[in-house]
Chains A and B, each alone.
Chain A
């Protein structure tokens, strides 16, 4: 079946622009996570949704970062007034149940480059 789909795959933006990254989780998956992966590092947690509820946003680095999942399926990560340090791969993951031992299925990510 279809996996987690993220778009765009690549995004180049000028410093100060706003960007929006989209995630289409596996159909029916309750839990959705966003991670940020800097070059040479492991993914780092940004935020978590259970259906449409954002239950944990402790990893968002600043108030320029905003995520939503209004209907409990597709999610959007928005970054306002982008800065060079926002350059990274943004990964979305979903899991089928609200249980920590359920594996998270990852998308291919969006590689964001801020000029």
Chain B
């Protein structure tokens, strides 16, 4: 069975600090990987995705993630966070091919202080 593990449940950073959120997955096959963000009071939005090619993926708002196949990891990074990045971040995986369900991690709540 596929699973996703997010190591950090709650992260507090000051503005301009660097961010790295961990994500490890377990899946027996070729995968697609996603990071979604949920800002307070809003719906889940796609930050970035990886399905093939360059393992370093750039997304919106300066976020990036690196797929390391040997480590089954897809960590999210941002060099300098802003107060507006305060949100909940979810890593998700599905199997490559036809449309399939996403398996999500439990999420990481990021709080950025001024």
B residues near A (Cβ < 8 Å) are 4, 32, 34, 36, 42-46, 49, 51-52, 90, 92, 94-107
Contact = CB atoms under 8 A, between A and B. Distances in A.
A48 B33 CA distance: 19
User: Is the contact region of chain A dominated by helix, strand, or loop, or is it mixed?
Assistant: loop
A31 interface: yes
Interface of A: 3-4, 30-31, 33, 35, 40-45, 48, 50, 56, 59, 91, 93, 95, 97-109
Nearest to B50: A101
A59 B46 CA distance: 23
- Max chain B C-beta neighbours (<10 A), residue from A59, A95, A104, A109: A104
- Max chain A C-beta neighbours (<10 A), residue from B34, B52, B96, B104: B104
B94 A106 contact: no
Nearest to A50: B99
A101 B106 contact: no
